């Protein structure tokens, strides 16, 4: 599972723009979480990610998320083959999301799943095997 955001760009302006779009949707979907859990998650995890994406350059920048399209080509070039995610697993995930809050949806794109919040892609899920 990977963030479905493209913050691995060279330009600070591009990284800020992409990070704002992604984290705006992510923070929006966290509204349903309890305030204590939400605050911890935002500060401990997301705050460090955002700081690293925006403030760090070169080897200091550890957060380099890219879209599923980029991962597909890299993994295929490395000799991996995408495996379909089971329909049962997808249906279970959709059911859990619908029980959690409205606004979530899962898009199935061939062998991949994309978790969205209000039509904004947040995370992609894929399974791979080495040939």
- pLDDT, one tens digit per residue, over 44-68 is 778 889 899 989 988 999 988 999 9
Query: Averaged over 75-97, what is the pLDDT?
Result: 83
pTM (two decimals): 0.79
Query: Averaged over 103-118, what is the pLDDT?
Result: 83
Q: How far, in Å, CA of 28 to CA of 22, rounded? A: 10
Does residue 77 surpass a pLDDT of 90? Answer: yes
Give the largest CA-CA distance in the chain. 46
Strands 127-130, 2-3: pairing kind: unpaired
């Amino acid at each position: 599972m990977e963030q479905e955001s493209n913050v691995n760009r060279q330009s600070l302006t591009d990284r800020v723009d992409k990070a704002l779009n992604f984290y705006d949707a992510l923070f929006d979907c966290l509204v349903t979480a309890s305030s204590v859990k939400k605050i911890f998650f935002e500060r401990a995890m997301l705050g460090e990610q955002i700081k690293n994406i925006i403030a760090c350059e070169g080897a200091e920048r550890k957060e380099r998320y890219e879209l599923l399209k980029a991962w597909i080509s890299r993994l295929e070039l490395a000799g991996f083959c995408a495996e379909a995610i089971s329909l049962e697993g997808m249906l279970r995930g959709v059911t859990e999301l619908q029980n959690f809050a409205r606004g979530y949806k899962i898009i199935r794109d061939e062998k991949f799943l994309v978790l969205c919040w209000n039509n904004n892609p947040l995370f992609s899920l894929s399974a791979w095997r080495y040939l």
